[in-house]
Amino acid sequence: MIQWLSNVYRLGLKELRSLRADPVLILLIIYVFSFAVYAVATGAKLEVVNASVAYVDLDRSELTGRIVNAILPPDFETPQEISSSDIDRVMNNGKYVFVLSFPPRFEADVLAGLQPSMQLNIDATAMVQAGNGAVFIQEIIAAEIAKFVAPGDTSSSLPIDLIVTALFNPNLQSTWFSSVMQVINNVTILSVLLTGAALIREREHGTIEHLLVMPVTPSEIMLAKIWANGLAIIVAAVLSLWLVVQGILSVPIAGSITLFVVGTVLYLVSVTGLGILLATFTTSMPQFGLLALPVLVIMNLLSGSTTPMESIPVWLQNVMQIAPSTHFVAFSQAILYRGAGLETVWLDMVVMAALSAVFFVAALLRFRQTMSASN
């Protein structure tokens, strides 16, 4: 047993030296856990920010002016007036996301209780921004009309005092979500790529033949690749959470980083095993990349990191329970977002450990078969 552990340790050191000698992979790790996290968190915003607005005012009344003046930054850009004949042109050119059109006698009809119609044109190409922005604009219009018609009347208000509290992200900032999820997704991506690349590198450099004549077993070789590459990923992920997420982006981490690392170790056994398994079916990095790409896309899109699991069809939710990424995302979100403890995430950790055992055994059997064929 001591000799087995010694072999795993020394082979792992060899993997770390090989990784250190590969500047492309080193730069990839640094980029993925630094600039990529920052760029996605600050660039891909889900809330409405600086949405462009235009308006057509055929009424020229005080009410229409109050509505236009209530559409303010930072949610919206300052509304720009256009003519009614320009609506189709500016919408087709994508110049404005929202175009309001006030009909003639709008204020007079409102005061007369005639419920006049007004038009809100929306460029739904940017679906999230369009949907949220439309709701904001409708609320602004309703509020301004209510204050204009009956400024002192509160009879239309709710008969209760409704207090809304947003937990875990009080300002509803998408940066808080996207930055942490980017780190979580990158753990999956790099775990597959680094371990798969390590095996492909052995073949391309001819060192796999050296391993075949050494007194080491396939399990020792696999575990060495797993712990060495897993260590590099965990260190990079933790540094990213501390330096980029908490430091640069000022996003709070609610839970225990130590508990997150423990769960990540359990998860890495399965996902690095998956990387080795995929690499055994290929003979070059281009082939491995083409095979890994659809697997990673499915794992990320259907794991709950991009869209809630509840929005996925039930049968597909059941299928994705065999994917370790589904449980890792739930585990990570519970700890990093909501500050959950072991009593909350222990079941996800048990499932990840069980799936890790399954993926490791499957990868080991395939790896042994591949090594036997090469011998």
pLDDT number for residue 160: 46
**pTM for this one?**
0.80
Retrieve residue 20's tokens.
């250190």
pLDDT number for residue 93: 85
pLDDT number for residue 30: 93
Q: How far is CA 97 from CA 90, 126, 129, 294, in A?
A: 9, 8, 9, 33
pLDDT number for residue 267: 95
Closest by alpha carbon to 6, among 195, 199, 215, 271?
215
Domains of the chain, start order: 2-44+173-374 (no CATH), 53-149 (3.40.1710.10)
Per-residue pLDDT of the chain (375 residues; tens, 9 = 90+): 788 888 888 888 988 888 888 888 899 999 999 999 998 888 766 678 888 999 999 999 999 999 999 999 888 999 999 999 999 898 888 889 899 999 999 999 999 888 888 999 998 876 677 788 888 999 899 888 888 887 665 555 545 455 666 778 887 788 888 899 999 999 999 999 999 988 888 777 777 667 667 777 888 888 998 999 999 999 999 999 999 999 999 999 989 999 999 999 999 999 999 999 999 898 888 899 899 999 999 888 888 887 778 778 889 889 999 999 999 999 999 999 989 999 999 999 999 999 999 999 999 998 888 776 655
